[in-house]
Amino acid sequence: MKKILLTIAATLVAELIVFLIIVGTGLSGALYNVSTLSPDPGFLRWIFSSTSGNSVKYRANGIKVPSLTDSSMIAEGFDHYNDMCVTCHAGPGLEKSEAGLGLYPQAPNLARSAKQLPPQYLFWVIKNGIKSTGMPGFAKTHSDSKIWAMVAFLEKMKNMTPQDYAAMEKANTSMGNMNMNMKMSHHEH
């Protein structure tokens, strides 16, 4: 029994040494291509994406969800989404930007896929981001209440048509213009 364990331990140490030599000598550069044009083999993709999904689920578990139905909250979330997320995630009737199209892994089209994701999950991902993908964490620049506003909008976007989205954009710009006019008329006084 002891002999078997010792053999296993020695094999593991030998494998670790081979692994370190591969990484240290630069042989790993020949074995793994970091190009976004070279998709990962299926089993690697499976390891990355299932680990990532499980990690988010584990950490999002137990987050308390506030009420997400307030219309000014949804409008604030729309503003953030339209400014910061469309580039990579597209939107109802909107295409990704050129930078967004160049990502690997690709950002999912949230107008379609956010349907399956619970609000705790959305909140955690937006706040923390996902390492080694294009998904930024917004905790450094946005308060929890701003992030919940984005979640409130995503919940709404699940059922939005391109026309609904365009109408929100229009309402938003006219609000923006109103604010500007108010500021300008303030100046004249």
Between residues 83 and 188, which has the closer beta carbon with respect to ligand HEC? 83
CB 154 within 8 A of CB 74: no
* Amino acid type, 3: K
> What sign results for the dihedral spanned by CA atoms 172, 140, 49, 59?
negative
Count residues binding ligand HEC (CB under 6 A): 26
Instruction: Give the integer Cα–Cα distance in Å for 114 and 175.
Output: 27
Question: Is residue 134 a contact residue for ligand HEC (CB under 6 A)?
Answer: yes
Question: Is residue 52 a contact residue for ligand HEC (CB under 6 A)?
Answer: yes
User: Which of 90, 126, 160, 168 contacts ligand HEC by CB under 6 A?
Assistant: 126
Question: Is residue 107 a contact residue for ligand HEC (CB under 6 A)?
Answer: yes
Reference 142, options 92, 89, 77, 91; nearest CA is 77
Reference 88, options 135, 31, 155; nearest CA is 135
Question: Is residue 87 a contact residue for ligand HEC (CB under 6 A)?
Answer: yes
How near is the Cβ of 156 to ligand HEC at its closest, in Å? 12
Q: Footprint of ligand HEC on this chain (CB under 6 A)? A: 52, 80-81, 84-85, 87-89, 100, 103, 105, 107-108, 110, 113, 117, 122, 125-126, 130, 133-136, 138, 150
